[in-house]
Structure 1
Amino acid sequence: MYEKFYSLAEDKQQRIINAGLEVFGQYDYKHASTDLMASKAGISKGLLFYYFKNKKDFYIFLYNYLIEIMTKLVVDEEFLAITDFFDLLRYSVIKKHDVLKRNPHIMDFSMRAFYSEKEDVSERLKAMTLNYEETAFQKYFARLDTSKFKEEAGDYFYIYKMLRWMADGYMHDIQMSGHSIDVDTLMDEFDRWMKMIKKLVYKEEYQDD
């Protein structure tokens, strides 16, 4: 679908991707200037739309690109060998934390994309996010050692979503306060939430694992 873009040299591809992430991360979708993106990428606006049909197409491309690149970075041999629910979550968070520390534009873009509302891309993003979340959980959490859970723990996907909701609420509060999100602090908070939830859903003999 993006043959013209992928025919470019890798460094030029990356310049265009980075420019898009930076500008879309700084501004809401409506006010993110494709002229600015093209300028930062060192190309003309005409060329940008030669590689991508329009602004929306470029945004969706970047969103899919991030999902793909984060999956590649997180899902390695060590990840695939983990069978403990909370160890798997923590490993995923650590790997993502490392990426976000090195690439702050990814964090800004991701936050704007996740909380996008009433914009041209909002409905498409919500559908893509929900679909990816369910598909990824079924694929990567299928090897869980479920014997560690209490019988009344119930739906493991729901437990996962509870932790995600806690992270969402935390980040939303930080945004509403006008402060930027510190990924180290977020990591510490996520560890606290996992320990709290683990006490509720794991059998006593597995509490200190």
Structure 2
Amino acid sequence: MNQSYFQLPLEKQKNLINAGYKVFAVSPYNKASMLAISNEAGISKSLLFYYFRNKEEYYLFLFDTSIEFLNGYKVQLNGKKVYDFFDLINMRIQGRMKVIAEYPYLYKFITRAYYETNEGIKSKLDHKKRMIMSIGEEEFLKVVDYNKFKNPGDVAILLKLVLSMAEGVMRGREDLNTEKILQGVREFEVMMESLKKHYYKECFLNLLERR
């Protein structure tokens, strides 16, 4: 990758990233062309290849950048504070909605990348994929309020369940528009409310209802 890319104004960098997210979100890796990306970005194909040697390098850059964006919106947890489990999940959701606002095709791109079948690119993505749904499990489990749970021993299991549910909500949505992605988020929030009623002590549920 040509380091001169990072010397571009931030808006131009963002434009080039969003162009790639859009084209790769709409088409699988094999069918997405650098010409289509350059047209979407409003630059020449030769200039695109000036910044990135080939499609694979550009694609992997986009993937790494998407992870950086998601990690950048992770909740900054204070280890001295105790947090409500479901508040932490909701904070995470709100952060990811901010990502969608700035990079509308990022989630579609990640979803398609997550299930990419091209063998050449797939092998290079495999070790990165585990980062996609990660929300810092160890850090999360250190600060969550265990006192609200009927059985504190369920917290680690519940976190894995929630992550699996989140992955399930994302699967197959690579061709959906933003409104349908938001609909999926709302469905996920309903699931969280149901889990809260199952795992939390009655006294804490009563307190929440009085707010």
Distance 2:149 2:126 in 1: 30
Distance 1:125 1:100 in 2: 22
Name the TM-score, length of structure 2 as normaliser: 0.79
Supply the AA of the counterpart residue of 1:169.
G
Structure 2 unaligned regions, length at least 5: none
Distance 1:2 1:149 in 2: 52
Q: 2:166 — aligned with what?
A: 167
Supply the AA of the counterpart residue of 2:188.
F
Identity of aligned residues (%): 30
Structure 1 unaligned regions, length at least 5: none
Supply the AA of the counterpart residue of 2:163.
R
Distance 2:129 2:45 in 1: 29
Distance 2:141 2:108 in 1: 27
Name the TM-score, length of structure 1 as normaliser: 0.79
**Structure with higher helix content:** 1
Distance 2:141 2:111 in 1: 24
Shift of 1:52: 2.2
C-alpha distance 149-121 of structure 1, shift in aligned 2 (>3 A): farther
Pairing 1:49-68 to 2, within 5 Å after superposition: 49-68=49-68
Shift of 1:74: 4.2
* Equivalent residues, number: 205
Distance 2:167 2:116 in 1: 13
- Whether the aligned pair in 2 keeps the contact of 1:100 and 1:107 (CA below 8 Å) is yes
Shift of 1:21: 0.9
C-alpha distance 135-106 of structure 1, shift in aligned 2 (>3 A): closer
Which digits, 9 at most, give the CA deviation of each residue in 1:50-100, with x for residues without a partner? 32232122112112212222332343579x967111100011112212432
Pairing 1:2-17 to 2, within 5 Å after superposition: 3-17=3-17
